[in-house]
């Protein structure tokens, strides 16, 4: 289930902030980049086969 960033609750935002403060920002950006690549490749295959 996908929820846009603007629909995050205050608790979720606080949790994200805590995670960033623990120095895991690189992990987060890496995950985000991998997700973008997955979306891009799946869109390309959908376009190719569709």
Compute the distance between CA of residue 21 and CA of residue 15 in angstroms, rounded to an integer.
Answer: 10
Q: What is the predicted pLDDT for the residue at 5?
A: 53
Enter the pTM of the model.
Answer: 0.37
Contact between 24 and 33 (Cβ < 8 Å): no
Contact between 14 and 22 (Cβ < 8 Å): no
Q: What is the predicted pLDDT for the residue at 43?
A: 84
Question: Per-residue confidence of the chain (50 residues) as pLDDT tens digits?
Answer: 565 556 667 877 777 777 666 666 677 788 888 888 888 888 888 877 76
Q: What is the predicted pLDDT for the residue at 9?
A: 77
Q: What is the predicted pLDDT for the residue at 6?
A: 62
Compute the distance between CA of residue 43 and CA of residue 50 in angstroms, rounded to an integer.
Answer: 10
Gyration radius of the chain over CA positions: 15
């Amino acid at each position: 289930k996908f929820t846009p960033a603007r629909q995050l609750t205050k608790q979720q935002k606080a949790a994200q902030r805590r995670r960033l403060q623990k120095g895991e920002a690189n992990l987060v950006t890496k995950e985000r980049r991998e997700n973008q690549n997955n979306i891009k490749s799946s869109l390309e295959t959908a376009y190719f086969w569709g």
